[in-house]
Chains A and B, each alone.
Chain A
Amino acid sequence: MNTPTEQPLSGAGVLISARGLRKSYGRTEALRGASLDLHEGEILAVTGTSGSGKSTLLHCLSGIVRPDEGAVTYGGEELGLLPEQRLSELRRRDFGVVFQFGQLIPELTALDNVALPLLLAGARRGHAHRTAGEWLERFGVRGQADLRPGGMSGGQSQRVALARALVTGPRAVFADEPTGALDTLAGEQVMTALVHTAREAGTAVLLITHDAQIAAYADREVGLRDGVVHSGPAAVLGQEAARREG
């Protein structure tokens, strides 16, 4: 449990590697040469202030957004060069995504929402529902299976979202402030559920947060500031000061 901040879990290979990512939205430079390795099975927290480019980094690593420059490599493939079809397949099979809120489809019940990635992959509804039901059980929201997102509490719908992200047995889960809209206790339940399931299944987690208490669930922390990744003890604080003083 007590792993050094600078080093990932020893012996684990690199799962996703990002090198020199740049991404601009209009005149706003969200990423300015960010590099990062996500290792197999590790839980990695990316911290930084609002507007530091955390979410853009997650979008690039999960293949949702293509970087302007730089490369994201996963399984020997460069995500930026893959066709949309293949990226969708990766999102469906190898990656899971959880946002702060709103990623569930409002028309679908909790059960159908969790079953969705399986249905999209062409699974039979009966099988998809059985598997989805098991995952709802694991996250303690089996009782909410027939509710639509509008009828659930924030904590419940985040747990359903986690179940959906994990239902396909992904290699990596990307969580962008997954507890941002929750109170402390609900956030703690969501984080505990995520960390336990990920460790059990050997799933790597990239956790975006600005909250030190949430970052403490991770094995390792890197800081993002002004679109660049800093790791080590100097990770999060005072890059400004560090740069100024050379």
Chain B
Amino acid sequence: MKADIRIAWILARGSDRREWWRFSLTLLGALLATGFALAAATIAAVRGQVSIPYAHGLLDRPGERAGVVLTLVLLLVPVLGFLGQCARIGAVHRHRRMAGMRLAGASPAQVRRLAAVESAFACLAGSSAGFAAFAVLLAVAGHTPPPVAWAAFVAVVLAVPVVAAPVSVFALRHVVASPLDHVRRTGPDRGRRAALGVVLAAALIAVAGLLLLFPGGKGVTPFALLVLGLVLLTGAGAIWAAGAFAAFVGRRLTLHAKSPAVLIAASRLAHDPWAAARTHAALLLVTVVGVGFLGVRGVLLSALGANGYRPVDLAFYTTGIDLAGAAVLVALTISLCGLAVGTAESLATRRRGLAAQAAAGVPHRVLARAALLETALPLAPALLLAGAGGTVVYLAYATVVGGPVPLLPLVVPVAVYAACLLAAATSLPLLRRVAHPAELRFT
């Protein structure tokens, strides 16, 4: 193990700028994850009825606190998506390096340990930094959590790197098998994963339905399961739609494209349709949740207004709902960052090909348009489906509660689409640098 840490350290010292980007972004992701987990632990450690001067008394009662904790825990999902995207930075290069290590005689276990040590250290730095920031925040707020919370804090700070290590080992599983760096992207694999999501969602809905059928089972649990099932179902469906549409459009347009930009984007999509789905998974899930959430919020507020609540009580509800809304926005932001990182990474990985195209006289304009189209084409039907899924969720809620159906949520998919294009566009300056014939010299 000591030898592995030593080699990992020598490798890190010689790493190029891209590797340091990965380290930094991974650190940032670990910091976010630690922050959310620590906040959840702190709130979960509060016992009984208390008076907390934040968020209009939302944290006063155990019931609402459980909701807040759940929201914070759910925020870990987009953070994990972001971390997954970070792990892909320089993946091709890292694959090659690990294959080189294997060729020099490193055993599969050694390569796994190296990868684990590398990401565990980045994540430990992130989680420690997150803990430090959180401790400062607690000191400023003047809150001293009970000992049990401190134990949880230590567990969180250690758990983040411990979880990150096997994830990065999993990402390197192909190289571990072959020292020749024959990394083949297996298309059907991604499709199978989306199918797994569908099966899981169907199972959840079935369980919820069974619970609803039983007398006395009409509690919160089956409804929550139903919603979770629906969200998963539409999420998986949207991811599948993105992949399938990318494959279909890629094939069709490769044959019939009239403009060079469309041709380049289409053949890229046809080559690896599930790459897009991979990048967009978290984003599509957030869209489903976002549309559903905005709809539920509208229905709930108008129902509360109709029931004649006092403004003070209403403030309690709106604060709770807006807090959840903020969580959705945070999730969306993190997912968009993931998309931006993914697009930039895709350009950086293909820089030799891009430089060759530029050298062969393909105008920069065409390459930029192709890069945007590559994001825009598969995302359109996926977002449409995600929007539809979210709409079903809040329509179901509206029929249960009654009252007018808000139309505002329908804007969400459009807004997300625009935001995605903007996020993808942030990588265009990188394209200008990467797609330069001089790059051919260095790669």
- How far does the alpha carbon of A97 sit from the alpha carbon of B106 in the complex, in Å? 13
A107 touches B104 (CB 8 A): no
- How far does the alpha carbon of A89 sit from the alpha carbon of B110 in the complex, in Å? 11
Pick the interface stretch among B4-12, B248-256, B358-366.
Answer: B4-12
A85 touches B179 (CB 8 A): no
Per-position binary interface string of chain A over residues 170-211, scored 1 when its CB falls under 8 Å from any chain B CB and 0 otherwise: 000000000000000000000000000000000000000000
A122 touches B3 (CB 8 A): yes
Docked complex: A63-106 residues within 8 A CB-CB of B: 64-65, 84-85, 88-89, 91-93, 97, 102-106
Inside 8 A of B96's CB, which chain A residues have their CB? 102
Pick the interface stretch among A112-120, A219-227, A228-236.
Answer: A112-120
Given A64-B179, A105-B100, A109-B14, does the pair A125, B107 have CB atoms closer than 8 Å?
no
Per-position binary interface string of chain B over residues 89-106, scored 1 when its CB falls under 8 Å from any chain A CB and 0 otherwise: 000000011001111111
Give which listed residue, B11, B108, B442, contacts A105 with CB less than 8 A: B11
B438 lies within 8 A of chain A by Cβ: no
Shortest CB-to-CB span from B441 to chain A, Å, is 11
B186 lies within 8 A of chain A by Cβ: no
Inside 8 A of A121's CB, which chain B residues have their CB? 105
- Of all chain B residues, the one with the shortest Cβ separation from A165 is B104
Give which listed residue, A88, A120, A168, contacts B108 with CB less than 8 A: A88
Inside 8 A of A102's CB, which chain B residues have their CB? 96, 100
User: Which of B101, B103, B442 is the most central at the interface, judged by chain A CB atoms within 10 Å of its CB?
Assistant: B103
A119 touches B103 (CB 8 A): no
B15 touches A120 (CB 8 A): no
B109 lies within 8 A of chain A by Cβ: yes
- How far does the alpha carbon of A237 sit from the alpha carbon of B51 in the complex, in Å? 92
Inside 8 A of B7's CB, which chain A residues have their CB? 116, 119-120
B180 lies within 8 A of chain A by Cβ: yes
* Chain A residues within 8 Å of chain B by Cβ, number: 31
Give which listed residue, A92, A108, A109, contacts B105 with CB less than 8 A: A92
- How far does the alpha carbon of A117 sit from the alpha carbon of B10 in the complex, in Å? 14
Given A65-B180, A105-B11, A119-B6, does the pair A91, B103 have CB atoms closer than 8 Å?
yes
- How far does the alpha carbon of A119 sit from the alpha carbon of B11 in the complex, in Å? 12
A85 touches B14 (CB 8 A): no
Give which listed residue, A65, A93, A107, contacts B97 with CB less than 8 A: A107
| B interface: dominant SS | helix
- How far does the alpha carbon of A91 sit from the alpha carbon of B6 in the complex, in Å? 21
Interface magnitude class on chain B: 20 to 34
A23 lies within 8 A of chain B by Cβ: no
B103 touches A59 (CB 8 A): no
Inside 8 A of A92's CB, which chain B residues have their CB? 104-106
- Of all chain B residues, the one with the shortest Cβ separation from A168 is B105
User: Which of B97, B104, B109, B179 is the most central at the interface, judged by chain A CB atoms within 10 Å of its CB?
Assistant: B104
Inside 8 A of A107's CB, which chain B residues have their CB? 10-16, 19, 97
B103 touches A64 (CB 8 A): yes
- How far does the alpha carbon of A107 sit from the alpha carbon of B177 in the complex, in Å? 22
Inside 8 A of A142's CB, which chain B residues have their CB? none
Give which listed residue, B12, B19, B106, B442, contacts A88 with CB less than 8 A: B106
B109 touches A108 (CB 8 A): no
Inside 8 A of A105's CB, which chain B residues have their CB? 11, 97, 100-101, 104
- How far does the alpha carbon of A116 sit from the alpha carbon of B103 in the complex, in Å? 11
A164 lies within 8 A of chain B by Cβ: yes
Shortest CB-to-CB span from B122 to chain A, Å, is 15
Inside 8 A of A108's CB, which chain B residues have their CB? 10-11, 14
Inside 8 A of A103's CB, which chain B residues have their CB? 100, 103-104
B180 touches A84 (CB 8 A): no
Inside 8 A of B108's CB, which chain A residues have their CB? 84-85, 88
User: Which of A84, A104, A117, A120 is the most central at the interface, judged by chain B CB atoms within 10 Å of its CB?
Assistant: A120
Shortest CB-to-CB span from A72 to chain B, Å, is 16
- How far does the alpha carbon of A24 sit from the alpha carbon of B129 in the complex, in Å? 51
- Of all chain B residues, the one with the shortest Cβ separation from A109 is B14
Give which listed residue, B6, B97, B107, contacts A84 with CB less than 8 A: B107
B102 touches A88 (CB 8 A): yes
Docked complex: A31-87 residues within 8 A CB-CB of B: 59, 64-65, 84-85
- How far does the alpha carbon of A59 sit from the alpha carbon of B178 in the complex, in Å? 11
Docked complex: B85-140 residues within 8 A CB-CB of A: 96-97, 100-110
B104 touches A164 (CB 8 A): yes
- Of all chain A residues, the one with the shortest Cβ separation from B99 is A103
B107 touches A88 (CB 8 A): yes
- Of all chain B residues, the one with the shortest Cβ separation from A108 is B14
A89 touches B107 (CB 8 A): yes
B104 touches A117 (CB 8 A): yes
Inside 8 A of A89's CB, which chain B residues have their CB? 105, 107
Given A108-B11, A120-B3, does the pair A85, B109 have CB atoms closer than 8 Å?
yes
Per-position binary interface string of chain A over residues 108-136, scored 1 when its CB falls under 8 Å from any chain B CB and 0 otherwise: 11001000110111100100000000000
- How far does the alpha carbon of A103 sit from the alpha carbon of B12 in the complex, in Å? 18
Shortest CB-to-CB span from A148 to chain B, Å, is 6
Shortest CB-to-CB span from A179 to chain B, Å, is 19
- How far does the alpha carbon of A88 sit from the alpha carbon of B180 in the complex, in Å? 13
User: Which of A65, A91, A125, A168 is the most central at the interface, judged by chain B CB atoms within 10 Å of its CB?
Assistant: A91
- How far does the alpha carbon of A131 sit from the alpha carbon of B37 in the complex, in Å? 49
Shortest CB-to-CB span from A198 to chain B, Å, is 19
- How far does the alpha carbon of A165 sit from the alpha carbon of B185 in the complex, in Å? 31
- Of all chain B residues, the one with the shortest Cβ separation from A90 is B105
Q: With contacts A91-B179, A107-B10, A116-B104 known, what are 8 further pairs, Cβ within 8 A?
A: A65-B180, A91-B103, A91-B105, A93-B105, A105-B104, A112-B10, A120-B110, A168-B105
Supply 15 A–B pairs (Cβ within 8 Å), ascending by A: A64-B103, A64-B179, A85-B108, A88-B102, A88-B110, A91-B104, A97-B103, A102-B100, A103-B103, A105-B11, A107-B14, A107-B16, A120-B104, A125-B6, A150-B442
5 nearest A-B pairs in the assembled complex, by CB-CB distance = A92-B105, A107-B14, A88-B107, A91-B105, A107-B11
